[in-house]
Structure 1
C-alpha cells in the first residue's frame, strides 16, 4: 500500500472514530443538559472543570512523551524501566495526592470529586494506550480503541441518568465504571502492568515542558467556567456558557485526529527540511480551509443546533455561541503550529508562549466578566487564541524554518 493510501486509510479510521465519539458525546451532553437543568448542569460542569485541571498533573506529559518516543526515539533519552510502567506509576501517585488534598480542603460535593479524580486517573491510562498505538502508526487500531472507550463510558453515564434524581456523584460514577470496563478490553492489555513507583528523573525533565503546556492549555480552555462561577455568581449563566462551548469542543474534537497524523508525519520527516516545509505548508492550508468553512457553517447552524439539542431554557446559549465561534479561526491552525513545534523539539518555547497566553486569558476574563458576563469570557477566548497564533508562528519561523 502506498504512503498516500496508508495516510488516507488512517485518516478515514480516525475521522470515523471521531465522528462516532462526537455523536455519542454530543448526545450525552444534550441529555445531561436536559436531565439536570441549567443549575445542576452548571454544578456538574464546575466539578468536571476542576477535575480536568488536576488531570493534567495525573497525565504528567507522559502521553505526549510516549507518542513522540514511540514514533521516533530521542537520542540520549534512555530508560531502564518500561515507559508505560513509569507513566502509570506517576498517574497513581498523583491521584493519591489529589485524594488527600480533597480530604483536607473544605470542598463541596467531595464524593463526586473523588470519583472524578479516579475517573481521570483511568482516563490517563487510556491516553497512554492511545499514544503508544499512534506512535507505532497503528491509527486504525487506535480508532477502534477510542470507539470502544466512548461506547462504554457513555453507557455508564446513561445508566447513571436512569437513577432517581441523578446528580454529579452518580454521573461521575458512571464515567468511572465505563472507563474501568474499557481498560479491561484486550486492546489495553499492554497497559495492565504493575505501575512503577520509582520514576526516572530524566523523564520528568523531558515531560516538564509537556506538563506545562498541558497545564497552560487547560487553564485557558477551562478558566472561563471557573471565573464565571466565581465572578458571575450565576450557576445558570455557567450552564448556558457550557452549552454554547460544546460547539467549540466538537470542532476541536473533529480536527484533533488530523493534527495527530500530521505530527507523526512531521516527526518522522524531521531530518528532511525541504519535505518538512512542504508538508507544513500543506497542513496549514488544509487546517485554515477547515477553520474558515467550519466557522461559517457553525455560525449559521449553531443557534439552531443549540435550540434543538438543549431546548427552550438555553436561549442565551444561542447568542453566546456566536461570540465564541470566531475563536475557531485561530484554534484549528494552532493545532498544526503546536504539533510542528513539538516535532522540531521546541516544546520549551511552546510552553513559555502557552503560559503567557494562559495568564493573558485569565486577566482578560477577570477584566471583562464583571462588565459583559459570559459574553466577556467568550471575547477573552477569541483574543487569547489570536495572540497564541502569532506567538506560535513567530517561534516556528525564528526557531526552525528561518534556520533550515
Structure 2
C-alpha cells in the first residue's frame, strides 16, 4: 500500500509540475508575443526612418553582435541553469561563480568585436563603418549580460521575473529606437546602438532581482566550478553557435551575394517570421530547467506534452500570420518590403521543424547531453552553408528562405534520433492530437482566469 501511495503521489506531483510548467509557458509565450509587438514596432520605426540599404547594414551589425555574444558567452547560461538545478543548497555560491565568469565573457566579446569588424566590413559591406561596429560591441556585451542574468532567474525559479525582463527588453528597445534613431542618429549604427541599450536595461533589472534573492552580486572566482561550468557550457555552446549559424548566417550571405537593399527586405521578413518562433523559444526556456531538475532522467512525459502544445501554437500563429503577411509588410514597413511576401511565407513553414529542434535541444541539454545538440545543429549548419551558397544565387532571398527549411528540418531529424536513443520515448507522442487543442485552450483560459482573479483582488 505504501508503494502504491508513493507512486500515486509521484504521479500527482508530475501532473502538478506539468500543469505549472504549461501555465508558465503560456505566460511566457503571451509575454513574448506582447514583446514581439514592441519589437515589431521598433522594426517599423527603423524601416520608416532608414532606407533598405541602411537597414541591411544595420542587420549586418546586429548579426555580428549576436554572433560575438554567442561565442563570448561560453555556455554560461547553460551552466547557470544546470548547476542551479543540481545544487539547490549552493545557489548563492553558484551565482557568484557565474558572475565572475560573465565579467570575463564580456571582455572576450569586446575584443572579438574589434577583431572581426575589419573583416566583416571588407567582405560583407565593402566598406569600413567604425561607428556601426562600436555599436555592435555595445550590443554584444549587453546581450551576454542579459542572457546570463536571465539564466540566473530561471535557475533560481523566478519565472515571473524572467517573463517581465523579456517584456522590458522589447519595450526598452522600442523606446531607445524611437529616441536614438528618430532624434539622435538616423543611421544603421544608431539602430544597432538603440538595440544594445534596449537589451542593457532589462539585464540590469534582472541582476537587481538576482541580488534581492541571493543577497549579493559580488563575483567570486572558483577554479573547480569554472572548469566544470566551462566543460558543460562549451559543449552546449558549440551547439548554440551552430544554431546561430542556422538562424543568422543568411543575414550575412544575402548582402554578400546579392545587394544591401535586398538584405534589408530579407531582414524584415526574418524579423516578422520570428513572431511565430516565440512559442518554441518560450517552451525551450522553461523546459530546460524543468528537465535538469527532474529526478528521473528517462521521464519524457513533460517533453512530449511540451512538444505537442508548442507545435500547435506554432502552426496556429504561422497560419494567422500567413493570411495577413502582404498587408503586414506593405502597410507597416512600406511598399518596398512587399517584395518579401513569398520569402516570409517560406520562413513561416520553416518555423515548424525549428520548433521541434528547439524543444528537443532543451530536453537533451536538461539531461546533461549538450554535446548531442551540438552534433545536430552542426548538421544543420553544414546544410545552411551549402543550401545558401546554392540557392541564394539561383533564387535570391526566396532561396535563402528555402535553405532555412532544409537546415531546420535536418537539425530536427538528427535530434529526434538522439532523443529516441537516449530516452526510448515514442516519437509519435511528440506530435499533437485533437485532444491537445482542448489542452491548449484550458491552459489559456486558466491563465486568463488567474489574471482576472488577481485584478479583482487588487481592485477590492
TM-score where L is the length of structure 1: 0.89
Match of 1:47 in 2: 61
Structure 1 residue aligned with 2:72: 58
| Contact kept? 2:52, 2:265, Cα under 8 Å | yes
The worse-fitting range, judged by mean Cα deviation, of 129-138 and 161-170 is: 161-170
CA contact (8 A) 1:334 1:392 kept: yes
Is contact 1:283-1:336 (8 Å) kept?
yes
The one of 259, 277, 283 equivalent to 2:284 is: 259
- Asked if 1 retains the 8 angstrom alpha-carbon contact of 2:79 and 2:232, the reply is yes
Aligned-residue Cα RMSD (Å) equals 2.8
1:222 to 233, 240, 248: 248
Separation in structure 2 between the aligned mates of residue 183 and residue 294 of structure 1, nearest angstrom:
28
Residues 16-43 of structure 1: CA deviation (Å, up to 9, x unaligned): 4212211110110111111112111111
Give SS of 2:277's match: helix
**Structure 1 residues 368 and 149, CA, compared in 2 at 3 Å: closer, same or farther?**
closer
SS for the counterpart of 1:250 is: coil
2:181 maps to what in 1?
Answer: 161
* 1:371 has 2:389 as partner: no
Match status 1:237 vs 2:298:
no
Distance in 2 separating the partners of 1:322 and 1:402? 32
Q: Where do residues 306-385 of structure 1 align in structure 2 (5 Å cutoff)?
A: 306-385=329-408
**Aligned pair partner of 2:307 in 284, 290, 310:** 284
For structure 2, the residue ranges without an aligned partner over 5 or more in a row are 1-12, 122-127, 427-460
Shift of 1:316: 0.8
Secondary structure of 1:88's aligned partner: helix
1:97 is aligned to 2:118:
no
The answer to which of 20-29 and 298-307 deviates more is 298-307
**Is the 1:13–1:139 contact (alpha carbons within 8 Å) kept by the matching residues of 2?**
no
Shift of 1:143: 1.4
State the secondary structure of the residue aligned to 1:200.
helix
Give the match for residue 209 of structure 2: 187
Range 158-167 or range 322-331, more displaced: 158-167
Distance 1:142 1:35 in 2: 32
Which deviates more, 331-340 or 362-371?
331-340
User: Which string of whole-angstrom CA distances, capped at 9 and with x for unpartnered residues, describes residues 317-353 of structure 1?
Assistant: 1121122211122111222111111122221121112
Distance 2:194 2:21 in 1: 35
Is the alpha carbon distance of 1:51 and 1:86 closer, same or farther for their aligned partners in structure 2, counting shifts above 3 Å?
Answer: same
Q: Residue 109 and residue 316 in structure 1: after superposition, are their counterparts in 2 closer, same or farther (change >3 A)?
A: same
Change in CA separation of 1:297 and 1:83 when aligned onto 2, cut-off 3 Å: same
1:71: how far off?
2.1
Shift of 1:290: 2.3
Unaligned runs of 5+ in 1: none
Alpha-carbon spacing, 1:176–1:271, altered in 2? closer, same or farther (3 Å): same
Q: CA deviation at 1:173?
A: 3.0
Q: Is residue 295 of structure 1 aligned with residue 321 of structure 2?
A: no
Q: In the alignment, is the contact (CA less than 8 A) between 1:66 and 1:83 conserved in 2?
A: no
Separation in structure 1 between the aligned mates of residue 290 and residue 201 of structure 2, nearest angstrom: 33
CA distance in 1, matches of 2:391, 2:70: 27
Shift of 1:295: 2.7
Q: Is the 8 A contact 2:357 2:415 kept in 1?
A: yes
* Residues 231-274 of structure 1: per-residue CA shift (max 9 Å, x gap): 12x1111111111112321111243122222223322224163x
What SS class does the counterpart of residue 162 from structure 1 fall into?
Answer: helix
Counterpart in the other structure of 2:194: 174
Relative distance call for 1:111 and 1:161 in structure 2 (3 A) is: closer
| Among 72, 75, 78, the residue aligned to 2:86 | 72
Residues 88 and 196 in structure 1, CA contact (< 8 A), matched pair in contact too: no
Q: Does 1:146 align with 2:147?
A: no
Match of 1:35 among 49, 59, 63: 49
**Partners of 1:310 and 1:81 in 2: CA distance:** 42
Number of residue pairs the alignment of both structures matches: 397
| Structure 1 CA distance for aligned equivalents of residues 56 and 202 of structure 2 | 28
* DSSP 3-state at the match of 1:345: coil
